[in-house]
A and B are shown apart, each in its own frame.
Chain A
């Protein structure tokens, strides 16, 4: 009897663990505007074109106000059960691996990997929501005030999902770090309020992800080829599958060519049924279902790659 009770409790606990959506990861970064305005930027050669990108490492090393603001935000979010990824730690880690990348070059031309410092940071940090921070000090004679802007950006839909912004009272007496600390304390609740609204939408309407369908160059077919008993274009068959498997059939086809399909605002359910219990769904699992459908129904081999929680790419033709 005891054994059955223990087994039942274990099963219940496991079930409880599994029926939870995957928590998004958050990271605070200063905005491009703040970095460039304050002189923390790099000029980066992106394959012949000069680009200006934020130099986060320099910003973290030289701006104590930035560290104060990030530390305060991290503390307040951790208090709410959402400890953030620390961008400074991620950057230190990147520096240790960038030396290895510098040694790599292509087999044919000897060219180096074309990846900006921002790409490196975002690829390594893999934060699903970036808390983009901007502040400006306004001077009116001897008085100072602070304009503060905190934006929550979804990394994969590129949508602003939360916000808090405003300007404080001009003051003679407070130092900038004090004004900054007060701004963070004042704006965090309105910010998390809009973040909560986003999470409520997530649970009600599904998680919004992106899906890309591409093909290998050497594959004999393409997305306009006919498949199935009804001789339908492969691109249309994929759209039909999405209509059947997304929440309320919600998705948008933003690009459609014979070699590429890009779907955005794809609303995937947060859970799926496995062996009679609810398991958390992510983009990879959702795209894997499409991958299996194409392979089993039409004998189309394909390769699945993902970027974090919100973006998946299926490359048709082979693994």
Chain B
């Protein structure tokens, strides 16, 4: 009798544990998606100084969250710079040169990149979020397959620099004078 009661309880316990761990793994994958895993390619510069970028982000499936792509673009301009592999663009230095700055200013950047955060002021989708046929790839990272999806965006680097200068994250050119 007792065994009959224990088995369903054990099953419920096992099921619950699996669900909890499953959620935890899904959350980790989601976190992995937004943990700044991207590639940036410079496509040009507009007359007002906005940089046209193609940002390749990684997603679990064919649909990419456009906000992830926007965050990746702004994050790349701030911390990694824009590397140019051909003559269509000039390689741009990162706005923040100190690689530890993101950790040191965690509170600021967590708020900056939060949903609806300040990052949205400096980036725009140039093709309305449309993804070109040649901008989808499937890549393998470890044992997992991800969709590598490219999106065209423009980033206003000048305004972004001013924002970071005002926040004290980077020094102005005239600092000390």
Cβ contact of A186, chosen from B45, B93, B172, cutoff 8 A: B45
Instruction: Indicate if the CB atoms of B87 and A21 lie closer than 8 Å.
Output: no
User: Min CB distance, A205 to chain B, in Å?
Assistant: 13
Cβ contact of A169, chosen from B47, B87, B173, B175, cutoff 8 A: B87
Q: Is B17 an interface residue (CB 8 A)?
A: no
Instruction: Indicate if the CB atoms of B45 and A190 lie closer than 8 Å.
Output: no
Q: Is B92 an interface residue (CB 8 A)?
A: yes
Interface centre among B47, B86, B90 (most CB of A within 10 A): B90
Give the distance in Å from the alpha carbon of A100 to the alpha carbon of B158 in the complex: 46
Given A185-B45, A190-B93, answer yes or no on A81-B88 (Cβ-Cβ < 8 Å): no
User: Min CB distance, A313 to chain B, in Å?
Assistant: 26
Instruction: Indicate if the CB atoms of B158 and A79 lie closer than 8 Å.
Output: yes
What residue in chain B is nearest A183 (Cβ atoms)? B90
Cβ contact of A199, chosen from B93, B157, B173, cutoff 8 A: B173
Instruction: Indicate if the CB atoms of A20 and B90 lie closer than 8 Å.
Output: no
Instruction: Indicate if the CB atoms of B90 and A186 lie closer than 8 Å.
Output: yes
Q: Is A203 an interface residue (CB 8 A)?
A: yes
Q: Which residues of A, 22-55, contact B by the 8 Å Cβ criterion?
A: 22-24
User: Min CB distance, B142 to chain A, in Å?
Assistant: 36
Q: Is B89 an interface residue (CB 8 A)?
A: yes
Residues of A close to B177: CB separation below 8 A: 20-24, 199
- Contact string against A for B residues 136-156, beta-carbon threshold 8 Å, 1 for contact and 0 otherwise: 000000000000000000000
Instruction: Indicate if the CB atoms of A185 and B87 lie closer than 8 Å.
Output: no
Interface centre among B87, B92, B172, B173 (most CB of A within 10 A): B173
Residues of B close to A189: CB separation below 8 A: 92-93, 157
Q: Is B176 an interface residue (CB 8 A)?
A: yes
Residues of A close to B45: CB separation below 8 A: 182, 185-186
Instruction: Indicate if the CB atoms of A190 and B90 lie closer than 8 Å.
Output: yes
Give the distance in Å from the alpha carbon of A22 to the alpha carbon of B177 in the complex: 6
User: Min CB distance, A134 to chain B, in Å?
Assistant: 16
- Contact string against B for A residues 97-132, beta-carbon threshold 8 Å, 1 for contact and 0 otherwise: 000000000000000000000000000000000000
Instruction: Indicate if the CB atoms of A145 and B174 lie closer than 8 Å.
Output: no
Q: Is B117 an interface residue (CB 8 A)?
A: no
User: Min CB distance, B80 to chain A, in Å?
Assistant: 14
Give the distance in Å from the alpha carbon of A169 to the alpha carbon of B132 in the complex: 23
Give the distance in Å from the alpha carbon of A234 to the alpha carbon of B45 in the complex: 59
Give the distance in Å from the alpha carbon of A260 to the alpha carbon of B88 in the complex: 53
Q: Is B115 an interface residue (CB 8 A)?
A: no
Instruction: Indicate if the CB atoms of A169 and B86 lie closer than 8 Å.
Output: yes
Give the distance in Å from the alpha carbon of A164 to the alpha carbon of B84 in the complex: 14
Instruction: Indicate if the CB atoms of A192 and B47 lie closer than 8 Å.
Output: no
- Sorting the interface of chain A by its residue count into under 10, 10 to 19, 20 to 34 or 35 or more gives 20 to 34
Q: Which residues of B, 91-146, contact A by the 8 Å Cβ criterion?
A: 91-93
Instruction: Indicate if the CB atoms of A80 and B93 lie closer than 8 Å.
Output: no
Instruction: Indicate if the CB atoms of A167 and B173 lie closer than 8 Å.
Output: no
Q: Is B49 an interface residue (CB 8 A)?
A: yes
Instruction: Indicate if the CB atoms of B174 and A169 lie closer than 8 Å.
Output: no
Instruction: Indicate if the CB atoms of B176 and A203 lie closer than 8 Å.
Output: yes
Give the distance in Å from the alpha carbon of A81 to the alpha carbon of B158 in the complex: 13
Give the distance in Å from the alpha carbon of A195 to the alpha carbon of B52 in the complex: 25
Residues of A close to B86: CB separation below 8 A: 169
Q: Which residues of A, 221-258, contact B by the 8 Å Cβ criterion?
A: none
Q: Is A65 an interface residue (CB 8 A)?
A: no
Give the distance in Å from the alpha carbon of A181 to the alpha carbon of B173 in the complex: 22
Given A181-B47, A186-B45, A190-B93, answer yes or no on A81-B174 (Cβ-Cβ < 8 Å): yes
What residue in chain B is nearest A187 (Cβ atoms)? B90
What residue in chain B is nearest A165 (Cβ atoms)? B90
Residues of B close to A186: CB separation below 8 A: 45, 89-90
Instruction: Indicate if the CB atoms of B176 and A190 lie closer than 8 Å.
Output: no
Given A21-B176, A82-B173, A203-B176, answer yes or no on A167-B47 (Cβ-Cβ < 8 Å): no
Interface centre among A164, A166, A185 (most CB of B within 10 A): A185
Q: Identify 18 new A-B residue pairs, CB closer than 8 A, beyond the known A168-B88, A195-B173.
A: A20-B177, A22-B177, A80-B173, A81-B172, A81-B174, A82-B173, A145-B87, A166-B90, A167-B87, A169-B86, A169-B87, A182-B45, A187-B90, A189-B93, A190-B91, A190-B92, A196-B173, A199-B176
Can you list 29 A-B contacts with CB-CB less than 8 angstroms, sorted by A residue number?
A: A21-B177, A22-B177, A23-B177, A80-B172, A80-B173, A80-B174, A81-B172, A81-B174, A166-B87, A167-B87, A168-B87, A168-B88, A170-B87, A181-B47, A182-B45, A185-B45, A185-B47, A186-B45, A186-B89, A186-B90, A187-B90, A189-B92, A189-B93, A189-B157, A190-B90, A190-B92, A192-B173, A199-B173, A203-B176
